[in-house]
Structure 1
């Protein structure tokens, strides 16, 4: 933008020169005779001397400036231009001193010498500029400066020897009383031609350096006008001669401006631009240090400094609201940071739309939002505000081709009731936020009892990060028995965690932590690969081929490379896909579009799909006809109460009947009593698993006790007259 404004400003400054030139040309056209000899014949030598002095000063300035900058701007063209104008300045000096009417200079001053010095200067200028612009620009050696600047003295010596030879070698260019000869005009037209060629060359570079090229073009144009005027004037008293000198002076002025701009003004302006850009960069860096990159919201550093400065200004009650986007860690781990960042940005916009401007909204590093409420009327006001924020998230967010939910868990800490310190208030609000995910309202005020629970949970999460590397996780396998044959047809893989200090940690405790933190992705892949590898090892050990069932988490189902990952695992473990069953939960079926595509892709691998904990979800059963499902697993909670609760009994009957009509297999979980088994047999259930037959076992125990487990199952079924002894 600066360059556009600067160029426009310069072109505007050039308007007076254009107007002045136009006026001078008008004077030549309409008042040539009236202005003839206007300065008085006796004054023309002095006027000519004054004009030449100015020209000499400008040309010498160009030469000196080129010499001075050649140590820093090591351009061969700049050095050549300096040497050229040093030559021109000496020749112009000789022209001025040898001008007719000047005192004695070597010989008596004559038109002959003065005119030849003038013509040589014009030819050297035009042809020299032409040759300089033909030369490829490159760096020069500092030592070459003296060599190049010594050339002008050789040229000057040659000119003096040629012009002041004892007998005239060169023909006269001006005849007294007649005017310029054809030779003089021809030589000047040659100079004009070279100037035109130089202009054509310059136009090719106009878009790269418009101001410099404009100045050089203006210089060439004024020189052309000057040469034309010097070819058509009658004698030295003609106004055209005077205006020709003015145009020549203007040409050298523009050339001087071009050199000055390229060597001094432009670098200085670039330095100013660099300083301005540096200041802007510092401002940007400061903004980035205190704001989030994607949402432009204030970050944790900004929040803490704000609380440190303003928390104690007034004694009014204040509140910190910590806000979590539910399952954001899972989305980030499964779909990637790009999707998560886009979702966070969309949620931030909705939060800002709901929150009053006086409330400060920040985004912490862990992707938690924090709202600072400076003046709290009452708890009901905070509850109402939180519910408004949650309601604003009811409409799903469209992130590329995914429809994602932005449900919020909100925790609130109060000042000064909960703490007087800003850092503690934020931490307490985060504690309440984590606990809010366990209650239906997804909203909780901080209570002191939360601190110990959250601390324990955070410590477990930290330890879980290292559990895989430390080989603390292992897999047990629970057999699934076919009720018609009594054979073990499949096993369910169940992950366990043996903590080095706390011992066995319940999956009900660490699996939710893994899902919230996104660790379920690497853990899930490890379980899958371990289970497939184990089944292949059993096959090689001589056990009958059995199928392994592995649970998939919601985070894994949104993993962008899930299908490829499973395919790679099957190839690495060399397990046939027919021996792998993937289990999903009923609550995962809400996103029909995504799940339909994903499950069909998994089905194409040759694996089977089962719905675990069937009957405990809340989704529409229409997914049973849309999804490629092979099996339904009845949740253990229904089996546990099947003998005492008529509702559970009716639900089990309904599931079995529905599966039969849909031609789906059924596995009943949690069989612990013979009476439960007897009822399932009577209801034509196909497969069961539970402690009645075997608890989950380590792979070596299952392998060693495979036959005894199977015989025990057959004995139980024989007693119920299911299989023949």
Structure 2
């Protein structure tokens, strides 16, 4: 749009210059008219008139031919009528020229009678014709319509020629020798001039619809008005005004030719170029969309597969595919949102590209993984060195706004042709290796055929998990939490279990990640929450005392749009007192404080308590802990297990307990397995403990039967510990 505006302004400036030069010419002619009288010589005026008319005829015929030829491809009534008009004008101008006084004999002797009538008809035709065409509403017509219009134009033109050439003059004379022009001639001349003024007014009103075309027609109208003024004021044929009138008449036709050329040739051609440019730009954009990742701007999976397949045809030497995944992308996307995960992907792409450079092909898969394709043979040591370099780069924090996010890079390796001769399988096998790499300390693994079986089992397990929900194969166990200060058990944690009818006991570490990846975690989490609340209410009736139950939440549950409403429904259905339900979240869920804080406040308003599970293993949440509406911190078992006797010093445990005390939060230590660990935590004023030393996780039926026994053992242990 800006380019068109600039072009129009340039064009207006060009037209303004032409008009300014024209008025300078007028001024010159007016000031020096006497001196310029008869300047061409008496014998030459017929030839001068002939030349000026020939140029006018050529331009008029050019307009007619231009519109006749172009109307074949775009049948618009305005163009057809304009073409027919100028064909008539060109023919009438020819007869005006050959009938001009001094021209050779043609049909009859040349005389002012014929010449003047041909002239005045052309003048009226161009004025009235252009006015009618400008007022005409543009619409499509047929080829037959076009031919009829041109045919009628020819018939009327030659009919008029015949009338003028009749031996008996049926038309009144417009010029009387010795007296000059008649009133009729001047009246028709001024009528033509007035029509042009009306035409200019209409064109000014329509200016915004077609600025350039309107500007040229306005210039043409101005020129023809000037021409009329000169033709009605000249003394005789030798007057410079007569020649100047013919000159401006030529200018009129040239301006109209430029307008016609612009509308029929230049504008469509420019539009076609712009359309082609736009098409080419769109093609490139579509190609980029089809072959490049929108976020990282790296080649996408389609481009990668085509590149791998092409390399197979070039040579058969060993090729290597590395699949890389930043292990915290999913957690960051779930907790902080897609903006942060996308920023990490961009930054990760930059780091990978910086290391790899132009040596290897770097690509991005649809799932948030990267691929490095090495098309030539590389030793195992070279590949491992590259993997280590990539891991070192990715281990540095990603600084995004006020967050500093870190994680691990898992890398899977597959080789052509040993692991596969198919590009799709080569990538898939490298992915399998990458999934398994997350389970080993180095986080780098090469593909082995056994991984395919492991992946197949994982898919089978996902299908079985659907059935487990439908067929009630899942159940809950509960691990009591001991209040170290009182020796009472007044809370417990609900833990989900799966006893597969064929495969037997399946670890939560195996099926919970599958539930999160497949989306089953939503119905899965609802089941755990409802069952835990319902069984806790039943347990309270049996043991005849209140007890709180803690239930773990997944990221998927917490970030459900109607999560608060779901909690209210569960509380209402199970009739558990809200303060006897505690929901556990992980540190990674607290990173997006703007999102998590309103949710936690909503839970607090219901009356629930909130705990942060596995505290100390997450990232970046310590500085926001004081602002979060939480009630409890749970110390991860990995810290507790480092305590081997009561005289040990475990600074992280000490720090968490001290920090919680300052923030007036309860502390629960997980994984207590020895009396020494219990002694240590008691001395540090820890509030609650849970672990095998007090009780393993047990079914609700066993807990109902053994609750008093477990609590009595715990009480005796605490009392005995305090006596020592």
TM range (shorter): 0.7 to 0.9
CA distance in 2, matches of 1:635, 1:469: 32
1:583 to partner: Cα distance: 1.0
CA spacing shift, 1:53–1:696, aligned 2, 3 Å? farther
Aligned to 2:446: 446
The structure 2 residue matched to 1:525, chosen from 522, 525, 532, is: 522
CA distance in 1, matches of 2:332, 2:653: 34
CA spacing shift, 1:291–1:655, aligned 2, 3 Å? closer
CA distance in 2, matches of 1:716, 1:349: 59
Instruction: Tell me whether 338-347 or 175-184 shows the greater mean CA deviation.
Output: 175-184
1:259 to partner: Cα distance: 2.4
Say if 2:230 is the partner of 1:229.
Answer: yes
1:295 to partner: Cα distance: 2.7
Instruction: Tell me whether 114-123 or 201-210 shows the greater mean CA deviation.
Output: 201-210
CA spacing shift, 1:532–1:423, aligned 2, 3 Å? closer
Deviations 1:532-552 (A, max 9, x none): 444665699896586542223
Aligned to 1:174: 175
Between Structure 1 and Structure 2, how many residues are aligned?
Answer: 704
Deviations 1:523-572 (A, max 9, x none): 4433443344446656998965865422234x459x7x45x432131244
CA spacing shift, 1:347–1:92, aligned 2, 3 Å? same
Aligned to 1:471: 469
Aligned to 1:38: 40
Deviations 1:140-164 (A, max 9, x none): 5777657766765568868987997
Say if 2:370 is the partner of 1:369.
Answer: yes
The structure 2 residue matched to 1:566, chosen from 550, 556, 563, is: 563
1:506 to partner: Cα distance: 1.3
Instruction: Tell me whether 282-291 or 43-52 shows the greater mean CA deviation.
Output: 43-52
Deviations 1:12-67 (A, max 9, x none): 999998899799769856587567273653x6556645654654554455446545
CA distance in 2, matches of 1:213, 1:502: 85
Say if 2:115 is the partner of 1:114.
Answer: yes
Aligned to 2:351: 350
CA distance in 2, matches of 1:643, 1:475: 34
CA distance in 2, matches of 1:494, 1:645: 29
CA RMSD of aligned residues (A): 5.4
Q: Is the 8 A contact 1:101 1:109 kept in 2?
A: yes
CA spacing shift, 1:507–1:249, aligned 2, 3 Å? same
Structure 1: runs of 5+ lacking an equivalent: none
CA distance in 2, matches of 1:542, 1:47: 121
Deviations 1:604-645 (A, max 9, x none): 554311133457779897766554332344556788898977
Q: Secondary structure at the match of 1:471?
A: helix
Q: Secondary structure at the match of 1:584?
A: strand
1:255 to partner: Cα distance: 2.0
1:348 to partner: Cα distance: 1.6
Aligned to 2:493: 492
Tell me the TM-score normalised to structure 2 length: 0.75
CA spacing shift, 1:717–1:437, aligned 2, 3 Å? closer
1:136 to partner: Cα distance: 4.0
CA distance in 1, matches of 2:467, 2:371: 34
Q: Secondary structure at the match of 1:550?
A: strand
Q: Is the 8 A contact 1:163 1:169 kept in 2?
A: no
CA distance in 2, matches of 1:401, 1:4: 45
Q: Secondary structure at the match of 2:469?
A: coil
CA distance in 2, matches of 1:400, 1:651: 28
Structure 2: runs of 5+ lacking an equivalent: 720-724
CA distance in 1, matches of 2:595, 2:428: 36
CA distance in 2, matches of 1:409, 1:684: 37
Say if 2:129 is the partner of 1:132.
Answer: no
Q: Is the 8 A contact 1:671 1:677 kept in 2?
A: yes
CA spacing shift, 1:541–1:201, aligned 2, 3 Å? farther
CA distance in 2, matches of 1:597, 1:681: 35
Q: Secondary structure at the match of 1:582?
A: strand
Q: Is the 8 A contact 1:351 1:389 kept in 2?
A: yes
CA distance in 2, matches of 1:27, 1:616: 94
